[in-house]
Chains A and B, each alone.
Chain A
Amino acid sequence: DAGVIQSPRHEVTEMGQEVTLRCKPISGHDYLFWYRQTMMRGLELLIYFNNNVPIDDSGMPEDRFSAKMPNASFSTLKIQPSEPRDSAVYFCASSFSHGAGTGELFFGEGSRLTVL
């Protein structure tokens, strides 16, 4: 099992540029989560999907942020235009809702974004 795969691992961009972060969840998982982590605010949930449908996007900071999940194996988080305060590590996680499992979230390694 390859786990949750995120790309890019590191991104450095200039203010105003568009940033797209990508996530491939674990095959068979039906929930996908996007978190952001900063020193000041810790881990914050931005949005999550169930069966490719956005369920709760109340954590998305503003309209510059958007997320999509066109199919069960791919999701994107887009920031347009980017600002220095968006600099953070963005984590994608997935989980499986059925059966007697723990329902634990499996996290990717994260995408470290730096906006200059």
Chain B
Amino acid sequence: DAKTTQPTSMDCAEGRAANLPCNHSTISGNEYVYWYRQIHSQGPQYIIHGLKNNETNEMASLIITEDRKSSTLILPHATLRDTAVYYCIVRVAISSGSARQLTFGSGTQLTVLP
């Protein structure tokens, strides 16, 4: 699976949009971008994933650049409960039948400030 690079930490004001970047310049054509987050003392939680089109769900939006070498996770209206470590992970498609484990990097510590 391709390696990802994320900033170590970011701050965001409550109620504002939080934009978390991720670089994955070595991503392959069949690799998806996944985002998970881990709130303190809890297990990681799935947020969203995408291949090349922008995606949106009830939690966040995922913007993937046209060359797919980077992406941005957007939390449109950050709350204090969004304070967590956010992990960007690249892995092969689910339908490929390959192993389903996820390899976590260091992630970005997002702190939402009141």
Contacts and interface: CB of A to CB of B under 8 A. Distances in A.
Interface of A: 4, 31, 33, 35, 42-43, 45, 48, 55-56, 91, 93, 95, 97, 101-110
A102 B46 contact: yes
Contact of B99 (A55, A104, A109): A55
Contact of B104 (A43, A48, A102, A104): A43
Interface in B77-114: 94, 99-107
Interface of B: 34, 36, 41-46, 49, 94, 99-107
Contacts, number: 50
Contacts of B46: 102, 104-106
Contacts of A109: 42-43
A102 B42 contact: no
Q: Dominant SS at the A interface?
A: strand
A44 B44 CA distance: 12
A90 to B, nearest CB: 10
